[in-house]
Amino acid sequence: MSAQATTPSAQATHKEIMVVLSGLMVGMLLAALDQTIVSTALKSIVEDFNGLSHYTWVVTAYLLTSTASTPLYGKISDLYGRRPVFQFAIITFLLGSFLAGASQTMGQLIAFRAIQGLGAGGLMALTFVIIGDLVSPRERGKYQGYFGAVWGLAAVAGPLLGGFFSDADTILGVAGWRWIFYINLPFGILALVLTSSSLKNASIRREHSIDYLGALLMVSSVTALLIGISVFGPEDGWLSSKTLAVIGLAIVLAVVFLMQELRATEPILPLDLFKNHTFSLTSALGFIIGAGMFGAIVMLPLYLQVVQGDSATVAGLKLIPFMLGIVSMSIVSGKLISKHGHYKRYPVMGLAIMTVGIAMLATLNETTPFWQLSIYAVLIGAGLGLSMQTIVIALQNSVDMKDLGIATSANTFFRSIGSTIGVALFGSLYASRLAINLPKGVEELAATNPAALAGATPEAFEQLKNNTSVIADFTPELQAVIYHAFVQSFHVVFLAAVPLTAAGFVMALFLRELPLRTGAEHHAAKQEAAGEALG
Q: What is the pLDDT of residue 203?
A: 47
Last residue of a domain, one of 228, 244, 265: 265
Q: What is the pLDDT of residue 50?
A: 60
46 vs 50, higher pLDDT: 46
Q: Specify whether 203 is located in the same domain as 310.
A: no
17-31, 43-57, 405-419: segment of lowest average pLDDT = 43-57
pLDDT-derived band at 222 (thresholds 50, 70, 90) equals confident
Last residue of a domain, one of 159, 182, 208: 208
Name the percent of the chain in helix, strand, coil, to the closest 5. Answer: 80, 0, 15
Total structural domains within the chain = 3
Q: What is the DSSP letter of 52?
A: G
Q: What is the pLDDT of residue 278?
A: 92
Q: What is the pLDDT of residue 206?
A: 53
Q: What is the pLDDT of residue 3?
A: 42
Q: What is the pLDDT of residue 525?
A: 54
Residue 519 lies in a domain: yes
pLDDT-derived band at 202 (thresholds 50, 70, 90) equals very low
8 A C-beta contact, residue 137 and residue 396: yes
Residue 405: pLDDT over 60:
yes
Q: How far apart, in whole angstroms, are the C-alpha atoms of residue 432 and residue 296?
A: 16
Exposed (0-12), middle (13-18) or buried (19+): which is 94, by Cβ within 10 Å? buried
Q: Specify whether 360 is located in the same domain as 373.
A: yes
Share the mean pLDDT of the chain. Answer: 80
Q: pLDDT for 123-135, tens place per residue? A: 888 888 888 777 7
Residue 533: pLDDT over 50:
no
Residue 373's SS3 state is helix
Q: What is the pLDDT of residue 505?
A: 95
Residue 68 lies in a domain: yes
The mean per-residue pLDDT over the stretch 506-530 comes to 71
Q: Specify whether 400 is located in the same domain as 295.
A: yes
Q: How far apart, in whole angstroms, are the C-alpha atoms of residue 29 and residue 31?
A: 5
Backbone phi, psi, residue 239, to 5°: -105, 10
Q: Specify whether 339 is located in the same domain as 396.
A: yes
Q: How far apart, in whole angstroms, are the C-alpha atoms of residue 391 and residue 347?
A: 7
Contacts of 433 (CB under 8 A, 6+ apart): 488, 489, 492, 493
Q: What is the pLDDT of residue 254?
A: 92
38-42, 102-106, 156-160, 407-411: segment of lowest average pLDDT = 38-42
Residue 315 lies in a domain: yes
Residue 535 lies in a domain: no
The mean per-residue pLDDT over the stretch 252-279 comes to 88
Q: What is the pLDDT of residue 49?
A: 67
11 vs 266, higher pLDDT: 266
Residue 287 lies in a domain: yes
Q: How far apart, in whole angstroms, are the C-alpha atoms of residue 95 and residue 72?
A: 20
pTM score, whole prediction: 0.81
8 A C-beta contact, residue 143 and residue 21: yes
261 vs 35, higher pLDDT: 261
- Residue 48 amino acid letter: D
pLDDT-derived band at 209 (thresholds 50, 70, 90) equals low
Q: What is the pLDDT of residue 93?
A: 92
Residue 201: pLDDT over 60:
no
DSSP string, 175-196: EGGGHHHHTHHHHHHHHHHHHH
Contacts of 443 (CB under 8 A, 6+ apart): none
- Share above pLDDT 90 across residues of the chain, in percent, rounded to a whole number: 17
Q: pLDDT for 407-456, tens place per residue? A: 888 888 888 888 878 877 887 888 888 888 888 888 888 888 888 777 67
Backbone phi, psi, residue 367, to 5°: -120, 15
Last residue of a domain, one of 265, 280, 301: 265
pLDDT-derived band at 47 (thresholds 50, 70, 90) equals low
Residue 2: pLDDT over 50:
no
- Residue 282 amino acid letter: T
Q: How far apart, in whole angstroms, are the C-alpha atoms of residue 125 and residue 405?
A: 8
We report the CATH number of the domain holding residue 380 as 1.20.1250.20
Q: Specify whether 24 is located in the same domain as 87.
A: yes
Q: Specify whether 24 is located in the same domain as 172.
A: yes
The mean per-residue pLDDT over the stretch 381-395 comes to 88
Residue 170's SS3 state is strand
166-170, 216-220, 360-364: segment of lowest average pLDDT = 166-170
Q: What is the pLDDT of residue 245?
A: 93
pLDDT-derived band at 376 (thresholds 50, 70, 90) equals very high
Q: What is the pLDDT of residue 371?
A: 93
Residue 269's SS3 state is coil
Q: Specify whether 320 is located in the same domain as 219.
A: no
Residue 225: pLDDT over 70:
yes
Residue 406 lies in a domain: yes
Query: Domain containing 194: what range?
Result: 1-208
Q: Specify whether 242 is located in the same domain as 198.
A: no
220-234, 264-278, 309-323: segment of lowest average pLDDT = 309-323
Q: pLDDT for 460-503, tens place per residue? A: 777 666 666 677 778 888 888 888 888 998 899 899 889 999 99
Q: What is the pLDDT of residue 295?
A: 61
Q: Specify whether 162 is located in the same domain as 136.
A: yes
Residue 385: pLDDT over 80:
yes
The mean per-residue pLDDT over the stretch 496-525 comes to 81
- Residue 206's DSSP bridge partners are 3
Q: How far apart, in whole angstroms, are the C-alpha atoms of residue 421 and residue 295?
A: 8
Residue 451 lies in a domain: no
Count helices and strands in the chain by DSSP H and E runs: 21, 4
Q: Specify whether 86 is located in the same domain as 157.
A: yes
- What is the enclosing helix (H) or strand (E) of 204? strand 204-206
Q: What is the pLDDT of residue 339?
A: 84
Q: Specify whether 162 is located in the same domain as 142.
A: yes
The mean per-residue pLDDT over the stretch 75-83 comes to 80
Residue 486 lies in a domain: no
Q: Specify whether 247 is located in the same domain as 369.
A: no
The mean per-residue pLDDT over the stretch 288-314 comes to 77
Q: What is the pLDDT of residue 253?
A: 93
Exposed (0-12), middle (13-18) or buried (19+): which is 229, by Cβ within 10 Å? buried
pLDDT-derived band at 289 (thresholds 50, 70, 90) equals confident
Residue 7: pLDDT over 50:
no
Exposed (0-12), middle (13-18) or buried (19+): which is 144, by Cβ within 10 Å? buried
